[in-house]
Amino acid sequence: EPPSEWLLRLLLIGSVGMLAGLTAVWPRHLPHWPIIVVLGVIGAVMPTWFYFQVRPLVANAVGVKIGVGMGVWLNGAGHLLLAAAVWLENRGSSYWLLDNNQ
């Protein structure tokens, strides 16, 4: 199997491991909300992108046109809403990276 078949999957799995490690060693004096905002945006963009990449392949395999269901839109909207709410709640802090009021 050529590397183009598995390399992207391996990199994505590695990035999940790195994010888990980052949250484990994130300094206690730094707030966690920037990580939540970044993960919210990633949670909205990556599954939607992946769905639109896989949809034509599945449609060809089963011979049926595959639509975009409510789950795709609700997933994206929910993650973006989470990211926006956390960012809006914390953007007023002048020292947001050094704020101890998590």
User: pLDDT tens digits for the chain (102 residues)?
Assistant: 787 778 888 898 888 888 778 777 777 766 778 878 888 898 899 899 999 999 999 999 999 999 999 999 999 999 999 989 888 888 766 444 555 554
Neighbours of 66 (CB within 10 A): 15
Alpha-carbon separation of residue 98 from 4, 20, 25, 29, 56 (angstroms): 42, 22, 16, 7, 46
Tell me the one-letter amino acid at 25.
Answer: V
Check residue 21 and give its pLDDT. Answer: 82
> What pTM does this model have?
0.60
Check residue 63 and give its pLDDT. Answer: 94
Q: Where are the domains of the chain?
A: 30-90
Cβ–Cβ < 8 Å for 46, 76:
no
